Amino acid sequence: MEKVDRFLEKIPIRVTPQRVAVYKALSDSRTHLTAEQIHSKIKKNFPRVSLGTIYSILESFKDKKIIKEIRITFEKSRYETKVSQHHHFLCQTCGKIYDLDIEPCSSLRKKEVQGHLIRDLQGYFYGICKECRIK
């Protein structure tokens, strides 16, 4: 818990026990969680925290760029603490989401595409994951 405290203190954000718990739930899971999943993880320690509060904490983290929002399934956002640029693969068989590290193509290296300046990007790939392929 202490490490997350210190990390959040470096960001211009008010550090509250709920915020620490939300960030910790996300960073500990090392995966891509929905607000509902975060909510159920921290509910036993913070029974009065509503889902709405979770969403507003996530929004403030997003503003400070310490988490990323992923919309690989369009009906539900997921969040992660890995903020470096990477893409995602969704297995349509088991539903697992994988981080992908792909060599950037030439326009990404230039951070420019057809005259447009690229500031951020997220690639979504869909298919059957390596684990489901061998089943």
CB of 94 to Zn ion, least distance (A): 3
Q: Looking at 93, 121, 123, 127, which residue binds Zn ion (CB under 5 A)?
A: 93
Number of residues that bind Zn ion (CB under 5 A): 7
Which CB sits closer to Zn ion, 94 or 113? 94
Alpha helices in 10-125 (DSSP H): 17-29, 35-42, 51-63, 106-110
Work out whether 34 is an interface residue with Zn ion (CB under 5 A).
no
Q: How many CB atoms lie within 10 A of CB 52?
A: 10
Torsion angle (degrees, nearest 10) of CA 3, 87, 125, 72: 50
For Zn ion, the binding residues (CB under 5 A) are: 80, 91, 93-94, 99, 129, 132
